[in-house]
Amino acid sequence: MTGLRVVELAGIGPCPFAAMTLADLGAEVIRVDRPGGGEFFPGHERTDVLNRGKKSVVLDLKRPEAVEAALALVAGADVLMEGYRPGVAERLGLGPDTCLERNPRLVYGRMTGWGQTGPLAQTAGHDIGYVAVTGALHAMGEAGGAPQIPLNLVGDFAGGGAYLVIGVLAALREAERDGRGQVVDAAIVDGVAHLLSGTHTMMATGTWQDERGVNLLDGGAPFYAVYETADGRHLAVGALEGRFYRELLRLLDLDEDPARQHDRSGWPALRGRLAERFRSRTQAEWTEIFADSDACVAPVVGLEEAAAHPHLRARGTLVEREGVLQAAPAPRFSRSAATLGGPPPAPGRDTREVLTSWGVADAAALIDSGAAVQS
């Protein structure tokens, strides 16, 4: 995506993640920060991985001349991304109508939890609420227990940021064909609901019950569950298919009838026998036993420990830069390699350079007046 120009109005969470993804893919991303630096990790902006590969411009958008400078950036951009509550960008003078008037080819990406329309559009919210109303949170947890929070991966980053990237790329393709930009309304609730398509399919076919911990993929099945080992660690077991289940039983040396794998009446007893067997050895011992097998058993490791996992290490999935552990760019390509951009910039590090190179008039005067800030 070399040559793609993106302006990101600074925010937190899914919108920065989407812009980071485009930067990983080669886009030039200009983050427009507020005076005073970041609001989510104050004093630690240089370790905010979501801002890697970007340049930072500080503009005081309360001042008309700073808004005009932002619009000058928009005029030279292919994409604008913002994650404000609906109407905020309009009040700043940077709404879609204004920006598209300046740049008819612009793809204007809007990232919110509830979306631009609907009765909750103006309501505050966070990941946990978005996954709650879609049914995703209800589906996660042990049978008879409370729902379990899936970090903010399902909502903010999968249902939100990833779908904003998908929408922006699709709109860019359309703009290439007819020369017209458009607005991308990426709502986390929409994305999470879309991610549940497979679960909705299983419900429609009668193979999924609308309750926690009783289904094939939610821990209800004893052959798709997490078990504790002798050293207090855990293993993830995912032996869904018959041939994988038979391999699991063989390596565990369990005398079970593979033909009864899906006999739910026998699941409680089977779970007990599996749990007892897994508690007989340490995680490392079981990992060695299951190495190179198709039993679909993997050790549950910590976030830092994951960097040392042989497979992830061989692929370079996790890297360390300036003491910060982070994921390498994804996905991968056969000839157009994604690259890990520069470290996250301090707010305002690139103000003068960006304003000048993007052709913003009177860059020096903007900085001298305080409407723009060079750190």
Q: Which residues are catalytic?
A: 126, 156
Q: Dihedral of CA 177/178/181/187: which sign? A: negative
- In three-state form (DSSP H/G/I as H, E/B as E, the rest C), the secondary structure along the chain is CCCCEEEEECCCCHHHHHHHHHHHCCCEEEEEECCCCCCCCCCCHHHCHHHCCEEEEEECCCCHHHHHHHHHHHHCCCEEEECCCCCHHHHHCCCHHHHHHHCCCCEEEEEECCCCCCCCCCCCCCHHHHHHHCCCCCCCCCCCCCCCCCCCHHHHHHHHHHHHHHHHHHHHHHHHHHCCCEEEEEEHHHHHHHHCHHHHHHHHCCCCCCCCCCCCCCCCCCCEEEEECCCCCEEEEECCCHHHHHHHHHHHCCCCCHHHCCCHHHHHHHHHHHHHHHCCCCHHHHHHHHCCCCCCEEECCCCCHHHHCHHHHHHCCEEEECCEEEECCCCCCCCCCCCCCCCCCCCCCCHHHHHHHCCCCCHHHHHHHCCEECC
Give the residues across from 153 on adjacent strands: none
Q: Dihedral of CA 13/19/21/23: which sign? A: negative
Q: Are strands 79-82 and 107-112 parallel, antiparallel or unpaired?
A: parallel
